Structure 1
Amino acid sequence: MSDQHYQINPDRTIPWNNLPKLPIDASLYRDLDVFEGLGKAKAALGKLQGRSIAIPNQGILVNTISLQEAKASSEIEHIFTTDDELYKAYSDEASQVNGPAKEVLRYRESIWSGHEYLTEKGEFDLGYFEQVYRTMTQYTDGLRKPFAQTYIRLGGSGPNAGKPIYTPPRGEGILEDLMANLIQFVNDVQQPEIDPLIKVAIAHLQFEAIHPFRDGNGRTGRIFNIHYLVHSGLLDLPILYLSKYILREKEQYYANLSAVTQRAAWKEWFLFIFRGIEETSQDTFQKITDILNAKDAILQVLEKQTSIARPESLLEAIFTQPFTKVRHLVDKKLYAENTARQYLNQLVELGVCEKRKISGGDYYLNLELYRILGS
């Protein structure tokens, strides 16, 4: 794609203060391949939306899948934790959690903090982005200082490791101006010709190019993707998470970002994002189906082979998170403590759960949910 409709960044070591404002020229996305990719992504997303609204308790889906998103998105930033550590941390009191698991759970908290903020405000503003950023990083500042030296450097250990691959804009009032333009773009409902999926692809790249905060920009940008899909009416709840796809295609993700800034290669960027939405929608659809099927199969076993009271409520509880503790069932006022322990131990005998002794406490792992989330 020619750069005649988009001013590129010729020197990656100099702040891109001439980052083009939005909207971009329509010729940059009016392409048959782009529209074909868009159509596939929209079809897969629509199928996912239809499946998700059929779930009686959407908390099951939202809780479990957002944990996996938090883990994958954090791994992109080299924050690693195991599934076991993460699921245990989610089961514990906040004061008992530390290390990488705590940081990953803060990402998940940011998803919900931003979702609630957006629901209350009804539109995006700078406060939304700062809310997500502050919840995740625990910093109290806002936009980068005007003349803070910020470079995006190549990672790894190769010969070019450490070299700047992009220098975001900086200077008095520049970030404020660019963010105001971005916010106006995402809130503008007077642009019906721009499909929401085209819009989210443009806005995500623009946010990453602005790089408004001193840390957490990648994670904040990925959370924005989720919230924009909900805000635009394509999903009811934040359940489509692209981080697993981006983590798997991390090298291509950054190459495509760079290709837009260096060569105005928007077509490749759109195709990459649309393919991610299509594949992730299909993967999430399958996870929902597997979770519901597993839950129904276990319910039949409980009804036929046990005298457990309110088995549906017990299953709702153990499918809300991979690890369950006796305290969880008591706190939900489902059962008295001794009854809760008895029922969880019955699930162990039936092979539904595995009992693990961790740090002196008993944790009951839902084996099917653990398998589905890890697939």
Structure 2
Amino acid sequence: MNWDPEVPYDDLPLLPPTGEQETRAVLKATIAARAALAALDQAARLLPNPAVLLNAATLLEAQASSEIENIVTTADELFRYAESDEVGGHATKEALRYRAALYEGVSALVRRPLTFGTATAVCSRIKDVDMTIRRMSGTRIANPATRRVVYAPPEGFDVISDKLANWERFLHDDALGLDPLVRMAIAHYQFEAIHPFHDGNGRTGRIVNILALVEEGLIAEPVLYLSRYLIRHKSEYYRLLNAVTSEEAWEDWILYVLRAVELTARSTLIKISGIRTIQDEVSERARTVTRGGRDATFLTLLFEQPYVRIKTVVERCEVSRPTATAWLSDLVGADVLSERRTGRERLFVNHRFLEVLLRDELEELDA
């Protein structure tokens, strides 16, 4: 292979890769990953209010994917500001834009297939500027610890455009007979290797992964937050990407992605179980301690986000501010909610729900 990390990789091979991708080990891992995804999708569809999981999963994915790029905020802060007119710190704003970009990408799939145009819209939303194909030369990717250059992506508008056109065709080439999960893994490597934008490629590529799963019908909603696994195995993630470039080590890379899908799906199933248990317990308790407990919209609000605001209850439940305040205060008195103050605003926290959301089920599965 003619590759030098210091030289732009204009000879990046087109897709599909040569050789066998669906080896026996890959096929076995694919079966396990597909089974876990199917179980997750079914459980998510059976939730009384799917927004409970969707809101949580997209915020947790935004937090983890941003952390991979050293944009660090906390999930707690993201939940606090997710539905607020206020703004958090720079990292929080970037992570919330990631979630908005994910939603935008899913909406785009209703109108057209997944394309580089979709990726461009996603990256533009993440970066909050109009992104275009990288035109400047001299882009180098270095090891953050050693500062040593480990990769130089292709350069030149025409070169990058041709490789992206090939990437698009591969995404939808059913004639190849590849399992959609294997195709997603291969396409993710290629997107990161092309490195089409001057910034935001990693986060955009990880959103594209989720969009590919939705487009293929493997999950109905973007409830899989793969980036939690990737942040736990960040060095391996980059090592295996580099190994595909330097050694064409496709099997190890594909197995890594399949394991990420399987364990993330299984961990999310555990989280769904925890959410349903807390939802039943909180709803039952609320019915006995406040008149609001008989309001279905109010009970729904308690689980759309762990942070509930008085004005949200007023608007959604169509009640007066004193009534909304009384309902929330009743739940504080019963230890169903806790109260926090942020400036002049009173926040009511569904603390048991928040604990479930922040619990890392993946840690035990991945031990």
What's the offset of the Cα at 1:97? Answer: 4.0
- In 1, the alpha carbon distance for the partners of 2:141 and 2:63 equals 23
1:218 alignment partner in structure 2: 202
Q: Percent identity?
A: 35
State the 1:299 CA deviation: 1.4
- Indicate if the aligned counterparts of 1:299 and 1:312 stay in contact, CA closer than 8 A: no
Matched-pair contact (CA < 8 Å) for 1:242–1:276: yes
Please state how far the C-alpha of 1:314 moved relative to its aligned partner. 1.7
TM-score normalized by the length of structure 1: 0.92
Cα distance in structure 1, aligned partners of 2:302 and 2:262: 29
Q: Which amino acid aligns with 1:293?
A: T
The residue that corresponds to 1:132 in the other structure is: 122
Give CA-to-partner distance per residue, 1:15-49, whole Å, 9 cap, x none. Answer: 11111111123x33232111111111111111101
- Which residue in the other structure is 2:138 paired with? 149
SS at match of 1:319: helix
Match of 2:362 in 1: none
Cα separation, 2, equivalents of 1:19 and 1:228: 22
The 2-side partners of 1:354 and 1:309 are apart by 16
- The aligned residue for residue 221 of structure 2 is 237
Q: How many residues align?
A: 359
What SS is found at the alignment partner of 2:244? helix
Residue equivalent to 2:9: 16
2:41 maps to 1:49: yes
- The answer to whether the Cα contact below 8 Å between 2:289 and 2:334 also exists between their aligned partners in 1 is no
Q: Which range is displaced more, 176-185 or 293-302?
A: 293-302
Contact 2:283 2:293 in 1 (8 A): no
1:116 aligns with: 107
1:278-293 matches, within 5 Å, as 278-293=262-277
| Partner Cα distance (1:154, 1:345) in 2 | 51
CA contact (8 A) 1:204 1:225 kept: yes
Structure 2 residue aligned with 1:32, among 24, 27, 46?
Answer: 24
- Which stretches of structure 1, 4 residues or more, deviate above 6 A after TM superposition? none
Contact 2:191 2:205 in 1 (8 A): yes
Of residues 260, 268, 272 in structure 1, which corresponds to 2:252? Answer: 268
Tell me how far apart the structure 2 counterparts of residues 9 and 304 of structure 1 sit (CA, whole Å): 71
Q: Deviations over 1:331-363 (max 9, x none)?
A: 213432111111111111121211001112101
Are 1:91 and 1:324, in contact at CA under 8 Å, matched by a contact in 2?
no
**Match among 62, 66, 72 for residue 64 of structure 2:** 72
Q: What does residue 4 of structure 1 align with?
A: none
2: CA distance between counterparts of 1:24 and 1:334?
Answer: 57
* Equivalent residue number for residue 371 of structure 1: 355
Cα drift, residue 236 of structure 1: 0.6
Give deviations 1:48-86, integer Å, cap 9, x for gaps: 011111012211111111111111111111111123322
Structure 1 range deviating more: 297-306 or 35-44 = 297-306
Distance in 2 (alpha carbons) for counterparts of 1:312 and 1:299: 9
TM-aligned CA deviation for residue 313 of structure 1: 2.2
Report the secondary structure of 2:46's partner residue.
coil
Write the distance in 2 (CA, Å) between the matches of 1:230 and 1:190: 20
Name which of 162, 172, 190 aligns with 1:187: 172
Unaligned runs of 5+ in 1: 1-7
Amino acid at match of 2:225: Y
Cα RMSD, aligned residues only: 1.5
Give the match's secondary structure for 2:317.
coil
For residues 225-282 of structure 1, what are the alpha-carbon distances to aligned partners after superposition, in whole Å with 9 as ceiling and x for unaligned? 1110000010111111210100000000001001110111111101100110000000
- Structure 1 position 305, deviation (Å): 4.0
Contact (CA 8 Å) 1:9, 1:261: kept in 2 or not? no
Question: Which of 68, 82, 107 does residue 90 from structure 1 map onto?
Answer: 82
SS of the residue corresponding to residue 291 of structure 2 reads coil
Alpha-carbon shift at residue 309 of structure 1 (Å) = 5.0
